[in-house]
A and B are shown apart, each in its own frame.
Chain A
Amino acid sequence: MTAKTTKTAKPAKTPPTRPANARARKSAITKARKQSGSRTTLIIGAVVAVVGIALVAAVARGGNNSSIPDRVPASPAVVAQVTSVSPSVFSTVGVGTATSAPQPISSAPLTTNGKPRILYIGAEYCPFCATERWAMVLALSRFGTFTNLQQTQSSSSDVFPNTHTFSFYGSTYTSKYIVFEPVETETRTGKPLETPTAEQAQLMATWDVAPYTTQPGSIPFMNFGGRYVTTGATYDASVLQGKTAEQIATALHDPSSPIAKGAVGAANTMTAAICKLTNGQPANVCSDPTIAGIMAKLG
């Protein structure tokens, strides 16, 4: 009975407002949770909206892709101009403003089918390769013929952006005197293009180092028959800045233009190195006093 009395008495001792407070508190917590939940939904909604906006921007702007194609077949007019620079221009320019000449190395001769082999490793994005290709096409065209040369531009986001140039990718070169082996490793946007063979990579690893370069592994890298190497551009890349391929090709015929002084000068040093490999063949090129003079200095 006592226990019963105690039990019934207990609610009476409790203040009458307490259950109401608990209910109110519970209700307040529920309300706060609901509000918090809706704000959390708002935050997540904002994140989803941002992703949606990014998608819309991608579709709108990405679809309007005005980027330059990797390469196009070279303009026959440009190729004709570059491969028809007169001997008098080569003679007048001499070494011009070429900043370096092929450096002699001591290694086994590089040959293919008995012909001296010239290895080039570069990439389409590389602005210095873009610079060097003008001189290479000039020099190599004196010993043979290119077909299917391509035109491209260097990377739009590197130094000397969008330098107009040729690409050797997909081209062929025929010559009585030499074999030309070009490797373009990447496109102008950095996509893989051609992989050097193990032998080519080994040649680069062996000779694209000090003292021949301050930056090991740098491109463009050229090996002339195992007797000479060049790394990097051998004339000032800035002379080509802002010029179209047509403008560059035209300027090559003017021996007083900075482009001719650079590209033709570099071509003459390459020509002299190749003449060393071919034992002075062809005579009409290698016996030119300008070339003979450079050959004497090459070592």
Chain B
Amino acid sequence: MSTQSFSVFFATLAVACWAGTATALVLAYLHRRDPESGAGVLYGDLSRVALWIAFAVAMTTTLGSLYYSEIAHFVPCKLCWYQRIAMYPLSITLLVGALRRDRLVWWYVVPVATLGSVISIYHTQLQAFPSQHSSFCTTTEPCTIRYVWEFGFVSLPLMALSAFAVIIALVLIARSAPTEP
């Protein structure tokens, strides 16, 4: 597959992450209103597998970023590195959390993912308004250039943001997973 194909693949997953985050929020609301309702029960089921899905998202994002730098040879900018620093450890943390069925893993995940989200938001707006002359950017490793631009709105930092958002939603849902196996 070409770099373009990979970009479409990851961009589609990013859109799915946003859809997943929105669905998770709706389910959380419905569960709060009536835990016995169909949506409430589905929320309970989702909470059982939420950590595994969050792990899959973090691992896919990690592998995706490595693909872009090591295979497609896109040079990561400073802001890209900060987002990577936030995302890479989540793959390991979420795997261990999922294996141990640790409902409290959100304590470790949410602060890092929130920090990553803030950087992603800043990076996304910087690409939208590149004339800001951010001190993070150099012209040899620019952070204003959109190496990926799919569907007219999906860039690499937006992909990272979508992953951070859905991971935060999923680990918060995993808090209410039943303790029984």
Contacts and interface: CB of A to CB of B under 8 A. Distances in A.
Contacts of A54: 8-10, 12-13, 16
B9 A58 contact: yes
Contacts of A155: 145-146
B12 to A, nearest CB: 4
Nearest to A125: B145
B139 A217 contact: yes
Interface in B55-86: 56, 72-75
B179 interface: no
A268 B46 CA distance: 68
Contacts of B139: 126, 215, 217-219
Contacts of A44: 49
A63 B12 CA distance: 15
Contacts of A186: 75
A218 B49 contact: no
Contacts of B16: 50, 53-54
A61 interface: yes
A158 B6 contact: no
A189 interface: yes
Given A57-B9, A158-B142, A47 B53 contact: yes
Interface stretch (B90-98, B100-108, B130-138): B130-138
B88 interface: no
Interface in A158-201: 158-159, 185-186, 189-192
A44 B138 CA distance: 43
A39 B45 contact: yes
B30 interface: no
Give the top 4 A-B pairs by smallest Cβ distance, nearest first: A62-B5, A157-B146, A58-B9, A54-B12
Q: Which of A156, A158, A190 has the most CB of B within 10 A?
A: A190
28 contacts: A39-B41, A39-B42, A47-B56, A53-B12, A57-B9, A58-B6, A58-B8, A61-B4, A61-B8, A62-B7, A62-B8, A65-B2, A65-B4, A65-B5, A67-B4, A125-B142, A155-B145, A156-B149, A158-B145, A186-B75, A189-B3, A189-B74, A189-B147, A190-B74, A190-B75, A190-B145, A191-B73, A191-B74
B145 A157 contact: yes
Interface of A: 36, 39-40, 43-44, 47, 50-51, 53-55, 57-59, 61-63, 65, 67, 123, 125-126, 155-159, 185-186, 189-192, 214-219
Given A54-B9, A190-B147, A215-B138, A159 B4 contact: no
Contacts of B5: 58-59, 61-63, 65
B1 A159 contact: no
Given A36-B44, A219-B140, 19 more contacts: A39-B41, A43-B45, A47-B56, A53-B12, A54-B9, A54-B10, A57-B8, A58-B5, A58-B6, A61-B4, A62-B6, A126-B139, A157-B155, A159-B130, A159-B131, A159-B144, A190-B75, A215-B133, A217-B139
B48 interface: yes
Given A54-B16, A58-B12, A215-B139, A158 B2 contact: no
Query: Size class of B's contact patch?
Result: 35 or more
Interface of B: 1-10, 12-13, 16, 20, 41-42, 44-46, 48-49, 53, 56, 72-75, 127, 130-131, 133, 138-140, 142, 144-147, 149, 155
A215 to B, nearest CB: 7
A40 B145 contact: no
B95 to A, nearest CB: 16
Contacts of B146: 155, 157-158
A150 B107 CA distance: 55
A58 B67 CA distance: 15
Nearest to A213: B139
Contacts of B138: 215-218
Nearest to B23: A46
Contacts of A50: 13, 16, 20
A157 B56 contact: no
A90 to B, nearest CB: 29
Nearest to B138: A217
A280 B20 CA distance: 69
Contacts of B75: 186, 190, 192
Nearest to A37: B45
